[in-house]
Amino acid sequence: MRVLVVEDARSLAEIVAEGLRDQGMAVDLGYDGLAAAAKLDLNRYDVVVLDRDLPGISGDTLCRMITEREDRPMVLMLTAAGTPGDRVSGLTLGADDYLAKPFHFPELVLRIRSLARRRPATRARTLRAAGIELDPARRTATRDGRPLDLSVKEFALLEALLLASPGHLSAEELLERVWDENADPFTNTVTVTVGRLRRKIGLPPVITTTPGVGYRIG
């Protein structure tokens, strides 16, 4: 899952981003409306966590811009404007959910995951291929009924491959979907993580590599 956090209070934005990354999400940051709009043009996001009071382009204007996009991300407004009237006006702008500051971080995580599942392009709740079953909501994965003990990045990588099955994902596509804009495209991060995931899944191998094309389950 890839998330864009748009928040002009840098310390709060970085705390939120770090917490979401610990939950296995790929997170980009926008500190103002203009930067966020540029990132939305460059990357595909599942959820945008959006403050309303932003410099450059206001959160309200940015929300309206997002709702006009094809294959748009879901929008969670995270803002200090927390009265019932503020909530109604935010939802009227097209936001899919609304959470007032201060907030409880586990609730934020649950709401983001719930929005990602509601996104129209989201696949079935339980993903299955080649004896692998993965439940994104429960954060569980098994092979032929055997639980897999995966790190957050291994779980996210397996989820991305299952979502793309039976198609391939290149290393660059996996970097985009599982990591975020801070990932170094010249590292062997994907290769190393795929190797660890293969070992944990076990034999016979189910992740295949096609040179010049990428990785796939099956």
Number of domains in the chain: 2
Q: Which of 65, 84, 118 is the last residue of a domain?
A: 118
| CB-count exposure of residue 194 (10 Å: 0-12, 13-18, 19+) | buried
Q: Same domain for 53 and 148?
A: no
Helix (H) / strand (E) element for 207: namely strand 207-210
Query: Do residues 136 and 112 make contact, with C-beta atoms less than 8 angstroms apart?
Result: no
Q: Are residues 104 and 134 in the same domain?
A: no
Q: What is the DSSP letter of 212?
A: T
CB contact set of 113 (below 8 Å; sequence gap of 6+): 1, 136, 137
pTM: predicted TM-score of the whole model, two decimal places: 0.67
Residues of the domain holding 74: 2-118
How do the pLDDT tens digits run along the chain, 218 residues long? 899 999 999 999 999 999 999 888 889 999 999 999 999 998 889 999 999 989 999 999 999 999 888 778 999 999 887 788 888 888 888 999 999 998 999 999 999 999 988 876 555 578 899 999 999 878 899 999 999 999 989 999 999 999 888 899 999 889 888 887 777 766 788 999 999 999 999 999 999 999 989 999 97
